[in-house]
């Protein structure tokens, strides 16, 4: 009824700019007939109508149906169009109560917005302040046909139970509760906007998409830490993690013993602490070494200006004040995978020291260390390719006016700090 009323009003107010989309979830035997009814009404109103069938995946039926519905909307919406939905005041109040029962925070209790701007989608809900009684009254005056989904009264579903069982009990005691609960959602929206402004400042101070500076994070209050961690873990997902999951991240990873190799798996990502930073990693990045196909030895031939791709990243051969002899250009060089136990005499440093120590000093992330390769000629170490640049080794091949590989982009999309002979 509410959606059909919306169709009639939109056809009157925006007759040439309105399109109707009917989503057939295929969960009811009558769903095809309902689509036919909508199409006939749209024809009478001279509104173009699309009927889109969707497949609802297994799981929480209400949530999966909602996800399938919005995915279908986005398939048909053009960049300049706004999705107009018929949610009303009782829908809003029900949403607030259901989210309260699930332990939602400020963002959850903010519920639905009249104008909801999302990534690639803008939603307008013009009925959000209207009661169902008003909608019924207007619908009777217009006298159009409509259908009622029987699941709206099936108390097996949480929203229907809230509407059919709980509603009258609360309203008998608190007659104005629907408007009051809906008003709470607007107060929560104001609060959420203020918190979002604080969050953005905190994010700029200590976080990027894939890492958080834990020393900077520790300067915030406990509440601001939880707020930032919750938003950061959410990433591009639809919902934030639970309060309990954020606590686990703090206790099991952030506050774990310094020598603990703690990892927490949340949705599609793994959360790992290294030194004083927290990282968000995909499975492929964290376990790249196990899936690695880096050759133990390979032949290399370099020329000035050449771009080369090695395990540690993309490099370019460039002339340098101090570098490898031009005589090595075009000559066969060998690239050897690090095995462990190697020593390196870095140019500008005194004596040989374990390559492992150089890696630790450069703070190369543990899950990227398998990409380190050694460049040699005639069993002489020329340098080391690492995710933080090329490390020039001391040898008879180093001279003024030479060349070096220069890092263009590393293999991990993290900090591209160099580690050259003059540091």
- The residue ranking higher by pLDDT, 304 or 57, is 304
Its pTM surpasses 0.85: no
Specify the pLDDT at position 416: 40
The pLDDT mean for the chain works out to: 91
CATH 3.40.50.620 positions along the chain are: 1-207
Percent of the chain with pLDDT over 90: 72
- Tell me: pLDDT of 28 over 90: no
Specify the pLDDT at position 418: 38
Rounded Cα–Cα distance for residues 66 and 56 (Å): 9
Specify the pLDDT at position 412: 62
CATH 1.20.59.20 positions along the chain are: 212-286
Nearest to 329 by CA among 276, 382, 275: 382
Q: How confident is the model at residue 415 (pLDDT cuts 50, 70, 90)?
A: very low
CATH fold label, 212-286: Chorismate Mutase Domain, subunit A (1.20.59)
∠ at Cα 297 (294, 300), nearest 5°? 100
DSSP string for residues in 66-121: HHHHHHHHHHH--TT--EE----HHHHHHHHHHHHHTT--HHHHT---SEEEETTE
Rounded Cα–Cα distance for residues 183 and 190 (Å): 11
Q: What is the pLDDT of residues 322-341, one digit of tens each?
A: 999 999 999 999 999 999 89
Homologous superfamily in CATH for domain 1-207: HUPs (3.40.50.620)
Q: How confident is the model at residue 409 (pLDDT cuts 50, 70, 90)?
A: confident
Q: How confident is the model at residue 314 (pLDDT cuts 50, 70, 90)?
A: very high
């Amino acid at each position: 009824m509410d959606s059909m009323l919306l169709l009639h009003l939109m056809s009157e107010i925006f007759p040439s700019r309105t399109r109707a989309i009917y989503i057939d979830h295929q969960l009811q035997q009558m769903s095809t007939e309902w689509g036919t009814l909508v199409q006939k009404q749209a024809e009478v109103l001279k509104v173009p109508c699309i009927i889109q069938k969707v497949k609802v995946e297994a799981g929480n039926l209400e949530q999966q149906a909602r996800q399938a519905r919005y995915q279908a909307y986005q398939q048909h919406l053009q960049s300049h169009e706004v999705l107009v939905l018929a949610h009303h005041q009782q829908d809003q109040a029900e949403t607030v109560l259901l989210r309260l029962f699930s332990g939602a925070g400020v963002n959850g209790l903010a519920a639905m917005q009249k104008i909801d701007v999302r990534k690639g989608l803008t939603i307008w809900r013009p009925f959000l302040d209207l009661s169902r009684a008003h909608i019924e009254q207007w619908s009777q005056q217009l006298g159009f046909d409509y259908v009622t989904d029987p699941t709206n009264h099936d108390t097996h579903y949480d929203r229907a139970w809230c509407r059919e069982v709980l509603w009258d009990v609360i309203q008998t005691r608190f007659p104005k509760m629907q408007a009051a609960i809906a008003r709470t959602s607007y107060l929560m929206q104001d609060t959420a906007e203020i918190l979002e402004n604080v969050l953005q400042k905190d994010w700029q101070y200590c976080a990027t998409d894939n890492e958080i500076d834990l020393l900077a994070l520790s300067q915030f209050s406990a509440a601001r830490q939880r707020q930032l961690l919750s938003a950061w873990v959410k990433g591009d997902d639809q919902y934030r993690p639970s309060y309990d999951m954020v606590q686990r991240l703090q206790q099991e990873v952030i506050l774990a013993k310094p020598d603990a190799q703690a990892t927490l798996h949340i949705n599609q990502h793994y959360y790992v602490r290294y030194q004083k930073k927290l990282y968000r990693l995909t499975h492929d990045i964290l376990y790249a070494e196990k899936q690695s196909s880096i050759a133990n030895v390979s032949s290399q031939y370099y020329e000035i200006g050449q771009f080369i791709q090695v395990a540690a990243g993309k490099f370019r051969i460039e002339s340098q004040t101090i570098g490898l002899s031009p005589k090595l250009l075009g000559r066969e060089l060998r690239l050897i995978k690090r095995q462990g136990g190697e020593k390196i005499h870095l140019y500008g440093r005194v004596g040989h020291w374990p390559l492992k120590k150089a890696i630790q000093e450069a703070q190369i992330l543990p899950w990227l260390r398998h990409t380190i390769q050694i460049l040699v000629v005639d069993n002489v170490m020329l340098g080391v390719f690492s995710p933080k640049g090329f490390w020039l080794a001391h040898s008879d091949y180093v001279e003024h006016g030479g060349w070096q590989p220069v890092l263009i982009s590393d293999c991990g999309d993290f900090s591209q700090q160099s580690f050259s002979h003059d540091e």
